[in-house]
Each structure stands twice: as structure tokens, then as C-alpha cells.
């Protein structure tokens, strides 16, 4: 599930705290070796999911694993056209599961006929070229935009294989276009395990001023669907400690070709309003699906759901579903504990399509706490605990879920 990454980026841009992804031009190239970066993130993750729904194939899943996410980014060679290489290496190690607990919807470990594998991994590389403020990258990579977004919500992230072009030639405008032919799932070592045929996409994000930003994107997944996406984000700092934010996101989806994702012709939109007062942030949201079928994603990335009510377990994206959200965040730095934060949210959905009509009802409650070490030898070490409860009258059943995530990023170069 996605936590509206683009909206977070847009808010940060409006607040003036984020630089463009490729802010440096080729004129600033320091060299292939001189500009290189090498890092490893160690991620320890425990997850259990208890499905109390009658008839569930496996009612309980529990897995614990250690992951390592390695990333190498070279600098660009000097000259009018710069060249470089990026590489990634992923490795997951099973720590505990089995005895009927493996799988169960956790999606943490790769499976075979005997259950969860003891270990799994993947390595890949991409070549890149930069001219001025435009970068073309071909090969294995992570992608994050509203119509093609690789997920990083499990032990190891998804990766995609193809061509991505990102341009910042025009001030305040970031343009992206891509063609991808393979997608590796989060718990798989096969580079084409997600079943992606091919996807073409394009679009961009424009910052009108320090308060207002908008984005438009288009994608076409061969034999699945085509999507249009649009967003509008407005953030205004009333005082240094008071910020209001409004965020609108919408997709229009229609099945194409062989319609491998089903017969789809729908829209989904969300509107959220938030108010930050010092350490406290209050948010409410409304989301609605209209038309034929659910809002679907996955073959185009398991984070391709940039809407307000896409949360820990559910996206509230069933056909004709209407949902409301109330959320509260607190940053404990104000109270003398920097690095510690909490959130609680409740979402209620109704009127979605079920086997007996359009009378489905559901709710989800999430509680999330995170602490990041601020100084010392363990600086940037983080601990996050996430709990979700989901109840549905028909689709989705009765789910309780816990995730515990410990991460430690290590910069080598």
C-alpha cells in the first residue's frame, strides 16, 4: 500500500525543503569515480497477518527475515554528454517461519513447493547518460511516479527493467517518460515475476509557486489497461508552526487489448485536508470509486496507488466504494524526544460492490510508531512498529496485522 508519496513530495516542495531529483546539470559533473556513491541498508522485518474470514485458504501467516539492500551509483563522466553505471544488489535471509505459518498473505519471503526459501536475492545494473539536466537510464532500477511505482513495503523492494528518462530543463518542471518490459515482485528473485507485458508512460510535476503544485501522467500497460492521473496540492504556512494542506488525486482507468486485468472503465479520486499545529497534524479525507470494476494495479507496480485512503492494509478501491478518513500525527521532537513520532487513523468504506449487491461496508484502524536515532554510533538506525485491523462485511474478511521493521543505512562511499 502506498502512503501517497507524490503528495508528500509536493508538500515538501511547497515548503521549500526538497531539491529537484536531478538538480545538477552535466556541467557540474565531477567524474565517474569522483561522483560515485555506495550504500547498504540493512532491514530486519517481522510480519504477521491473521485472517479470521471463514473459508480463508490460510488463516495465519508469520514470517521474520533479514534483508540487505545494496546500491551503487557512479558519477557521470565529464563532457557535453556524461555516462555512468548504477547497480543494485538485494539479499533476503529467512530467520523464522514454517509450521503452517509461511505465506498467509505476508508477501515477505520467496516461496517454493517446500514453503519459504532459506534465502533469495537479485542483482542488476543500469547504464545512464546525462545531457544538460536530462538523464536517460536503461536497465534495472527503482521507479516512483503515479502510474508506475515499484514498492518498498516488504523486506526487499520491487525492481523494474527498462528505460526511464527524467528531465529538469525547465525551472520548477520535472518531466518523466519510460518504457519497461519486466517487473520483479517484492518477494521474488525472477526479474519478470510480476507478469508485466510492457508499459509506456509519460507525464510530469509542475510547481507553480511555493504553495501550489500539480501533476499529470499517462500510462498504457499492454493488454491490461491505460491510465490517466492528475493531482493538485496546495500547502500554506500560516506561521512557522502552522501549516494547512489540501491534496487532490485522481485516476481514470480503462481496460485495453486482451483485458487481462478484467473489464475496467472507472475513476477513483481522493481529497484530503490537513492542518499542522506545532507537533500535531490533523487530517480528514474523502475518496470515491465510480464506474466498472475496482481500481487495479500491481502489474504496473505495487505502489501505483497514489490516493489518500491507500493505507497499511486496504486501499478502499473496490467498485463504487466511498470512504472517509480521520488521521492524527504527533512529532515528539517538540516534547524533547527528537526522532520519535506516532500516527493513528481510521477509515470507513461503504456502498462497494459485493456478491449480493452494492451494500459492502468496511473499516480499518492503523496505529504506527517510529523512532530514529539522532546521534552517536547508531545514528539513523530506525525502529518502526505498525498495527492494522481491517473488517469487511464481504470482501477482504477480518484481518489483524503487525509489522516490526528495524533499518540501518550505511554509507560506504
Q: Which residues are catalytic?
A: 179, 223, 303
Contact 235, 245 (CB under 8 A): yes
Task: List CB contacts of 50: < 8 A, sequence separation 6 or more.
Answer: 59, 60, 399, 400, 401
DSSP string, 289-337: EEEES----BTTBTT---STT--SS----STT-EEEEEEEEEEGGGGT-
Report d(CA 58, CA 335) in Å as an integer: 44
DSSP string, 375-398: SSTTTT-EEEEEEEEEEESSSS-E
Report d(CA 351, CA 343) in Å as an integer: 27
Q: Which three cell numbers stand for residue 125?
A: 545494473
Which residues is 65 bridged to in the sheet? Answer: 45, 94
Report d(CA 387, CA 369) in Å as an integer: 9
Q: How far is CA 4 from CA 9, 29, 38, 53, 136, in A?
A: 9, 32, 28, 29, 25
Residue 372: alpha-carbon gap to chain centroid: 20
Contact 309, 325 (CB under 8 A): yes
Task: List CB contacts of 377: < 8 A, sequence separation 6 or more.
Answer: none
Nearest 5°: phi and psi at 126?
A: -145, 145
Amino acid at each position: 500500500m502506498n502512503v501517497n508519496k507524490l503528495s508528500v513530495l509536493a508538500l515538501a516542495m511547497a515548503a521549500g525543503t526538497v531539491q529537484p531529483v536531478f538538480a545538477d546539470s552535466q556541467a557540474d559533473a565531477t567524474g565517474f569515480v569522483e561522483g560515485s556513491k555506495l550504500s547498504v541498508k540493512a532491514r530486519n522485518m517481522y510480519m504477521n497477518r491473521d485472517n479470521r474470514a471463514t473459508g480463508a485458504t490460510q488463516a495465519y501467516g508469520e514470517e521474520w527475515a533479514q534483508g540487505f539492500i545494496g546500491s551503487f551509483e557512479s558519477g557521470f563522466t565529464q563532457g557535453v554528454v556524461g555516462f555512468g553505471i548504477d547497480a543494485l544488489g538485494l539479499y533476503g535471509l529467512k530467520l523464522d517461519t514454517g509450521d503452517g505459518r509461511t505465506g498467509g498473505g505476508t508477501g515477505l519471503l520467496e516461496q517454493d513447493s517446500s514453503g519459504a526459501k532459506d534465502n533469495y536475492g537479485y542483482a542488476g545494473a543500469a547504464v545512464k547518460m546525462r545531457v544538460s539536466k536530462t538523464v536517460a537510464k536503461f536497465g534495472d532500477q527503482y521507479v516512483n511516479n503515479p502510474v508506475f511505482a515499484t514498492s518498498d513495503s516488504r523486506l526487499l523492494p520491487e525492481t523494474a527493467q527498462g528505460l526511464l528518462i527524467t528531465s529538469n530543463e525547465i525551472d520548477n518542471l520535472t518531466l518523466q517518460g519510460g518504457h519497461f518490459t519486466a517487473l520483479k515482485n517484492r518477494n521474488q528473485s525472477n526479474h519478470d515475476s510480476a507478469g508485466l507485458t510492457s508499459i509506456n508512460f509519460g507525464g510530469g510535476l509542475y510547481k507553480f509557486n511555493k504553495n501550489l503544485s500539480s501533476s499529470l501522467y499517462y500510462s498504457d500497460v499492454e493488454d491490461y489497461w491505460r491510465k490517466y492521473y492528475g493531482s493538485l496540492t496546495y500547502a500554506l504556512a500560516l506561521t512557522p508552526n502552522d501549516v494547512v494542506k489540501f491534496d487532490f488525486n485522481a485516476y481514470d482507468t480503462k481496460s485495453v487489448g486482451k483485458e487481462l486485468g478484467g473489464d475496467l472503465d472507472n475513476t477513483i479520486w481522493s481529497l484530503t485536508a490537513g492542518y499542522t499545529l506545532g507537533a500535531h497534524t490533523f487530517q480528514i479525507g474523502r475518496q470515491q470509486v465510480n464506474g466498472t470494476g475496482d481500481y487495479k494495479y500491481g502489474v504496473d507496480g505495487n505502489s501505483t496507488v497514489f490516493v489518500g485512503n491507500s493505507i497499511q492494509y486496504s486501499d478502499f478501491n473496490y467498485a463504487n466504494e466511498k470512504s472517509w478518513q480521520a488521521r492524527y500525527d504527533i512529532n515528539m521532537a517538540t516534547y524533547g524526544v527528537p526522532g520519535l513520532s506516532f500516527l493513528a487513523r481510521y477509515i470507513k468504506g461503504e456502498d462497494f460492490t459485493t456478491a449480493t449487491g452494492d451494500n459492502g461496508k468496511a473499516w480499518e484502524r492503523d496505529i504506527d510508531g517510529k523512532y530514529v536515532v539522532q546521534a552517536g554510533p547508531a545514528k539513523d538506525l530506525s525502529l518502526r512498529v505498525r498495527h492494522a485491523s481491517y473488517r469487511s462485511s464481504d470482501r477482504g474478511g477480518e484481518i489483524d496485522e503487525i509489522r516490526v521493521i528495524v533499518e540501518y543505512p550505511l554509507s560506504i562511499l
